[in-house]
Structure 1
Amino acid sequence: MSEIVELLDSSAIALDHEADDWREAIRFAGSLIEKSDACTEQYTQSMINSVEKNGPYIVVAPGFAFAHARPSEAVHRTAMSWVRLKTPVEFGHAKNDPVSLVVALAAHDDSAHTKAMQQLAKVLGAPKKRAALDQAATPEEVLAILDGAPAGRQASHPNSQDESTARSGAAADQQTQTTTNKILTVCGNGLGTSLFLKNTLEQVLDHWGWGSYITVEATDTISAKGKAKEADLILTSGEIARTLGDLGIPVKVIENFTSTAELDAVLRDSYDV
């Protein structure tokens, strides 16, 4: 059984739900977790507050929002909910609106959900699986599709073995230059959307043969300001980039956190590949 399925009960999956706006969509997604006593109404409100404070940074891919907030006493255990909307709603994201899928996470700590996020990022980044999830007729079908996600990291963009070998050598060369060989992926809370971005980036690095040369750390906005001097660059959303401001290193805005092609292009530009 995959880690996603362990955290997502069939009773927390709603298909073709009607929501008037993004607040109602998040509130409903949170209520599904509340019903299992995994969190309280206060946590659901925290997810809404996070978007009100930081903007629609949780809309990490076209049509997909990943609602979450910081771990707190309002979370009793780590759990997820899955809400497919009958009518997509606007979150205010310039590129990824409207949203038709809202996945909510209540995390009891900073690490219990890490593997589930790896799997979810990969599933939603695979067009065929995303299409199957959009067409699933029952919660059981959703769980079956999620449970069938392949293990391990696989980049979906094409590159030849020669290119991978060349990049591996380029990464080694980077170590002799002024570089820390560390990349920060940043979101408001450091445990949700930043993990999505981290997992997709690591797929690309592994495909290039750079996985052993570059460290990727998912973190929050406050911590990122203190850790910036340790990194070569920061990857984040447009909303969080504006919050971070000038940290003395490049801050790259990523539109689709599940797109290996977009991350590939950013790495090429950042490391002169």
Structure 2
Amino acid sequence: MLRYFYDNQLIKIMDKQPKNWEEAIRFSGEILKEHHLITDQYIEDIIRDCHEYGPYIVIIPDVAMPHSSAESSGVLGTGIGFTIMQKRVSFEEGNPEKDAKLFFTLAAKDADSHMKNIANLSELLMMEDMVPDLLTIETLRDFERIMEKHGM
């Protein structure tokens, strides 16, 4: 899956820190917008869902998976964008379990593709040392070294 991000140029290493979690979601959607996979509407749908349902997108500490439903009119294609923030972003004040630095933004045109994306991403994140390794990325060369380390 690391090769997917690399080969499809779906990696963004942020050079500025978002002011809050809403801005972090907007930043994380930029790479998918650049590839014409989503529109601003999809990003706003994710933010709305987080306000309504809480920080469901923080799947484990340090990792967020921004997504909304496949029925969103803002989804133009299927893909996953990987955005690395400079520092952790808090989704729930005082709860470090709901902080994230790694953002995997999902877009899918249908439920099957959405579930496949989630399964592939889960498999990647469960690999030994993967999350700690990803947290060290500051440059594209760092990303390449992690791909080499994990044989991808």
Shorter chain as normaliser: what TM range?
0.7 to 0.9
1:129 matched to which residue of 2? 130
1:42 matched to which residue of 2? 41
TM-score w.r.t. the length of structure 2 is 0.80
Change (3 A) 1:104 1:119: same
Shift of residue 73, structure 1, vs aligned partner: 2.6
Shift of residue 100, structure 1, vs aligned partner: 1.1
- The secondary structure found in structure 2 opposite 1:88 is strand
Counterparts of 1:203-242 in structure 2, within 5 Å, are none
User: Which 5+ residue runs of structure 1 have no aligned equivalent?
Assistant: 150-273
TM-score w.r.t. the length of structure 1 is 0.47
Tell me how far apart the structure 1 counterparts of residues 87 and 68 of structure 2 sit (CA, whole Å).
25
Change (3 A) 1:6 1:115: farther
> Over residues 138-190 of structure 1, what are the superposed CA-to-partner deviations in whole Å (9 max), with x where a residue is unaligned?
17628936x847xxxxxxxxxxxxxxxxxxxxxxxxxxxxxxxxxxxxxxxxx
1:152 matched to which residue of 2? none
Answer yes or no: is the 8 Å Cα contact 2:3–2:147 preserved in 1.
no
Of the structure 1 ranges 85-94 and 56-65, higher mean CA displacement relative to structure 2 is found in 85-94
Tell me how far apart the structure 2 counterparts of residues 114 and 7 of structure 1 sit (CA, whole Å).
21
Counterparts of 1:243-258 in structure 2, within 5 Å, are none
2:63 matched to which residue of 1? 64
2:140 paired with 1:144: no
Answer yes or no: is the 8 Å Cα contact 1:3–1:115 preserved in 2.
no
Answer yes or no: is the 8 Å Cα contact 2:134–2:146 preserved in 1.
no
Of the structure 1 ranges 62-71 and 96-105, higher mean CA displacement relative to structure 2 is found in 96-105
Tell me how far apart the structure 2 counterparts of residues 90 and 8 of structure 1 sit (CA, whole Å).
30
2:101 matched to which residue of 1? 100
2:80 matched to which residue of 1? 80
Bigger-Rg structure (1/2): 1
- The secondary structure found in structure 1 opposite 2:112 is coil
Shift of residue 52, structure 1, vs aligned partner: 0.7
Answer yes or no: is the 8 Å Cα contact 1:33–1:80 preserved in 2.
yes
User: Which 5+ residue runs of structure 2 have no aligned equivalent?
Assistant: none
> Over residues 87-130 of structure 1, what are the superposed CA-to-partner deviations in whole Å (9 max), with x where a residue is unaligned?
21110173513211111111111011433322321222334122
Counterparts of 1:164-179 in structure 2, within 5 Å, are none
Answer yes or no: is the 8 Å Cα contact 1:8–1:81 preserved in 2.
no
Give the number of equivalent residue pairs.
147
- Percent identity over the alignment is 25
Ranges of 4+ aligned residues in structure 1 off by more than 6 Å: none
Answer yes or no: is the 8 Å Cα contact 1:30–1:44 preserved in 2.
yes
